[in-house]
Amino acid sequence: MAPRRVAIILSCSAMTCRAEVERLTQQLRLFGEALEVWTDVQRAWVSLEPIFAAPDITRQLPGEAKAFATVDRRYKDLMRRARDHPNALQVCCGERACMVKRREM
């Protein structure tokens, strides 16, 4: 446990406060992981989008082009939700199913 987190938890006198700190800590951890995934996907997308936008590549690698299109669509949908909802924590933590996972890239 991080020292700052321990200090916050210990300073709470009621169990409800501790439960809230634990819940928020978990949400912030998940949020950080989601931001890392979003950044990784964006970095890969910037490199791959021009390649898979080329019609000849799409014809030569139809399976890979389809996989890229799926990740592209999911990521853009997720980024639209994040843009439309200023509370990014809710976007990340409220709907775990909509997160783009590393293994799907």
At CB < 8 A and 24+ separation, what contacts does 95-101 make? 96/30, 98/74, 99/34, 99/37, 100/37, 100/38, 100/41, 100/71, 100/74, 100/75, 101/37
Single pTM value for the model: 0.60
> What tens digit of pLDDT does each residue of 65-95 get?
999 999 889 888 888 888 888 777 776 665 5
> What tens digit of pLDDT does each residue of 20-69 get?
778 888 888 888 888 888 888 889 889 989 999 999 999 999 999 999 99
| DSSP conformational letter for 104 | G
Cβ contact 100:78 at 8 Å: yes
Domain boundaries, the chain: 28-104
Q: Centre a 10 Å sphere on the Cβ of residue 71 and count the other Cβ atoms it contains.
A: 16
